[in-house]
Amino acid sequence: MALDRGGWAMPRRSAARLKCSSSATATTYSSSRVSSRSIPSGYRCMPEASWLLPQACWSTGNRSGGVPQPRGCDIPRRRPKQTTMGSYAMSSDERQVQEILAHYVRAADQRNGKAQGSLFTDDATVQIYAKGGSGGYRPVGEPLVGGPAVRYATENFMAPHPEGGASHHTTSDHLIEVDGDRAHINAQFIVFRIRAAARPADGWPEGTFGAQGTVTPIESGYYDTDLRHIDGVWKIVHHRVLLDMPLVLPGA
């Protein structure tokens, strides 16, 4: 979805072919912009490990039609720094860094590849680590490299939400260090899987009351992320997803 928007060179036909199927079989691809270096060969339809949901893959997109879209998946622009006396209150570097992660989780939940990719530099690395039974972290596969690869992975390797489905990647208890044009953020994350109940064809039963659906925590861990301030914007240069549990990928 949206692969042909925003300057992607890949033809629509090819893009469609590259999307992972609902049977989660392996896919391969090539592209002048997503080089074989930037996404490891053999990369394939993946479940969501903090950003890859364990379901069949991308098909129709999940744009919620209609009224008010939750804001937050736009590309964050750094507001000009001004003193607190100006019309714009000065946003601290810590807040700006924290908001990058706030954009990240929304882009992941909304499968917005363009917004997600824009948060990363062209040579950024993204690596998932999973805890084994013995407690140590081990890398899962090889790192993604660069914003375009992140965009591609978000659009093609992240499982789409089923009808009525959604997710919330939530972060908390941030530790943020800013040193000039470099920053580091460590955060806890919990991923919740949302499944709205479907309205029965003959309406809700007598006595039905309140929110209808389930909210289930399914993944947890830490994000450990390095950023750089480039051309007035904070960008992610290294993003580590430290998952508390094993991650099983088909064919891996």
Binding mask 158-177 for a second copy (x = CB under 8 A): -----xx-x-xxxxxxxxxx
- 48 lines the binding site for a second copy (CB under 8 A): yes
Q: Which two tokens stand for residue 243?
A: 């998952």
- 226 lines the binding site for a second copy (CB under 8 A): no
DSSP state of 97: H
Rounded least distance, CB 151 to a second copy, Å: 20
Smaller CB distance to a second copy: residue 11 or 86? 86
Residue 139: other Cβ atoms inside 10 A:
11
According to CB under 8 A, which residues from 95 to 134 bind a second copy? 95, 99, 101-103, 105-106, 129-134
What is the b/e burial string over 70-87, where b = at least 16 CB atoms within 10 angstroms of the residue's CB?
eebbeebeeeeeeeeeee
* Angle of CA points 227, 231, 232, to nearest 5°: 75
Residue 132: other Cβ atoms inside 10 A:
11
Only segment of 4-12, 36-44, 84-92, 150-158 that touches a second copy (CB under 8 A): 84-92
- 233 lines the binding site for a second copy (CB under 8 A): no
Q: How many residues bind a second copy (CB under 8 A)?
A: 98
Smaller CB distance to a second copy: residue 81 or 122? 81
Residue 107, SS3? helix
